[in-house]
Amino acid sequence: MQKAYVIVGGAGDIGRATCEQLIADGKGVIAGVRNPLILENDDRVEDVDYRVVDAEDWDSMDELFASIRSDDIEVLGAALCVGSILLKPAHLTRVEEFDSVLSKNLYSAFGLVRSAVKRFSKTGGSIVLVSSGAAQQGLANHEAISAAKAGVEGLVRSAAATYASKGVRINCVAPGLVRTNLSERITSNPSALKMSERMHALGKIGDPDDVARAVAWLLDDGQSWITGQVIGVDGGLAKVTPVN
């Protein structure tokens, strides 16, 4: 039976980097993408099996994992690399904006856990979700995204407890600011970028590969004694106070 890891959000910067890392490690990879056009895109990662899924739709997520099992592919692990950024104070945040942040970040994470655990084999599997350093460090104008990502971290701990007896490990990475298309409004502004770099103790923001390496590491069964953890991949943002 073929074996593979499922990366939902495989067309995004961090998702793509995770697919590349897993392929480089000799793993089989299935990438769930929302836009069907990615299936014909020359930028696809070689040897990755791309399939369409709406990460915010639980039925769609169920269908993705069911289709994989029906193709006689064993799912060894799954990661969700879907998310959004909204930088607004609470009093300026519209209800539609907050609903969107919850849907893209928290509902999608819950949906992945819900679908994946039903399709793992009897030997279990691994799940990695993505939080944010903003869920652990009070950052101005991050109310919506901090609330959603804090929910992801709570989900990780509770689900890790629920499914540990089934051999399922559930962990989370919490990045700082990463240079992606989502963060371009910040990273393309020299003054905003400089300020952000100073907030990270290591004096720089992250790249997608920094996060991808951590996700791939946690997915691998070599980390069979790690579960319920939130690992900061954030240049020290959440836990270290830099000397500027």
Nearest-angstrom CA–CA distance, 224 and 209: 23
Amino acid sitting at position 27:
K
Q: Which CATH architecture has domain 2-83+105-135+148-175+208-233?
A: 3-Layer(aba) Sandwich (3.40)
Burial readout 215-243 (b: 16 or more C-beta within 10 A, e: otherwise)? bbbbbbeeeeeebebbbbbbbbbbeeeee
Does the CA dihedral 88-92-97-102 come out positive or negative? Answer: positive
**pLDDT at residue 214, as a whole number:** 98
Nearest-angstrom CA–CA distance, 149 and 14: 16
Domain residue ranges in the chain: 2-83+105-135+148-175+208-233
**pLDDT at residue 155, as a whole number:** 98
Residue among 25, 37, 24, 59 nearest 11 (CA):
37
**pLDDT at residue 36, as a whole number:** 83
pLDDT tens across the length of the chain (244 residues): 899 999 999 999 999 999 999 999 999 999 999 988 888 877 799 999 999 999 999 999 999 999 999 999 999 999 999 999 999 999 999 999 999 999 999 999 999 999 999 999 999 999 999 999 999 999 999 999 999 999 999 999 999 999 999 999 999 999 999 999 999 999 999 999 999 999 999 999 999 999 999 999 999 999 999 999 999 999 999 999 888 6
To which residue do tokens 């067309």 refer? 11
Apex 57 CA angle, 232 and 71, nearest 5: 90
What SS3 class is residue 114? helix
Instruction: Write the burial class of residue 157 (CB in 10 Å: 0-12 exposed, 13-18 middle, 19+ buried).
Output: middle
**pLDDT at residue 162, as a whole number:** 98
Does the CA dihedral 210-212-214-217 come out positive or negative? Answer: negative
**pLDDT at residue 244, as a whole number:** 66
